[in-house]
Amino acid sequence: MQILELSALFRPKTSHVYPPFKKGRYMEEFMYDYLISKQNEIQTKYIYIPIFWTNMQNHPAFIDKRKSYQILFDEAIKDRDASYFTIVQHDDGCQLLLPRNTIVFGACKGNVPLPLIYEDITNRLVQHPRVVKDLLASFVGTYTTHPIRGKMYNTLFGKTGIECRVKSKWEKNVPEEDANAFLDLTSRSKFCLAPRGYGRSSFRFFEAMLLGAVPVYLWDDQEWLPYKDKIDYSAFAVSIHEKELPELYTILSSISKEDYERMVQEGKKISNWFTMEGMAEYIVSYLLSFC
């Protein structure tokens, strides 16, 4: 596999820690290390564009330096008709113009959906104590990052077995109190509400699975779920379009105990897809399918 030669400026480090349970690398960083280690084993015509999109685009200076980045990037592209690929976790996708024959594996935008995940070397969520599930569903987070969140809150407010702890202002540095509230409520809930936010996906989807809850994904313009050709989401999760919000409580309440337990077990069976390693294997197999 060929790797595009790019300045280290495109792979900056970051002190950004979001979500609060991230203790390790973002997706782009993990995949860079993985692909470097597997470079000689992967036989593909696609050239890897090694950019840490999340780190680069989250930097306060990116907006002002975007044109400079584009110039440097264009200079590095020797063959604009070649085939390329890149991995992006950032909500906005790739904010540089790419060659037309580029596959973008993206957690929120791109050609090929990926799960919105991160690395946690402490395994905090996996090791969180399991407790009796006395709640039907819960949500902890900001309700203003997308209209569907406010609609969800208004739809479920006051319903039996529902608990939501919401804020009106998003913070990149989540207080430990809020992080603990998420752990507590999600572990007590049968279902974890995972509405899309600013981006199409939600970290809560895979966090719910780590905490033993069934994820409930709420979406509007596009159902950004990865691996649809590999796994059946209805077997282990609930996906709700914005138009179905009025029926959300009824849908969750009507799932029997037996069906719920079956969903939890199915979630465990496919959990590897929502790990960095599982994602990496999928990306490589996808690229090799064109050989």
Which residues contact residue 150 at a Cβ distance below 8 angstroms, ignoring those fewer than 6 apart?
A: 143, 144
* 107 and 140 fall within a common domain: no
pLDDT tier for residue 167 given thresholds of 50, 70 and 90? confident
**28 near 51, Cβ under 8 Å?**
yes
* 262 and 187 fall within a common domain: yes
* Per-residue pLDDT at 92: 96
Average pLDDT over residues 242-251: 97
pLDDT > 80? residue 172: no
CATH label of the domain that carries residue 140: 3.40.50.2000
What separation in angstroms does the CA of 177 have from each of 72, 121, 140, 219?
A: 43, 21, 11, 28
Task: Provide the domain count of the chain.
Answer: 2
Decide if 197 is inside a domain: yes
* 145 and 54 fall within a common domain: no
pLDDT > 90? residue 174: no
Decide if 155 is inside a domain: yes
- The proportion of the chain whose per-residue pLDDT surpasses 70, expressed as a percent, equals 100
Domain around 239: 135-274
Average pLDDT over residues 48-62: 96
Comparison of pLDDT for 273 and 168, the residue scoring more: 273
* 94 and 153 fall within a common domain: no
Average pLDDT over residues 31-47: 97
Decide if 125 is inside a domain: no
Which residues contact residue 5 at a Cβ distance below 8 angstroms, ignoring those fewer than 6 apart?
A: 76
For 14, the token pair is: 């970051």
**DSSP β-ladder status, 84-88 and 189-195:** unpaired
Enter the pTM of the model.
0.95
The H-or-E segment that residue 143 falls in is none
Decide if 233 is inside a domain: yes
pLDDT > 80? residue 33: yes
* 158 and 46 fall within a common domain: no
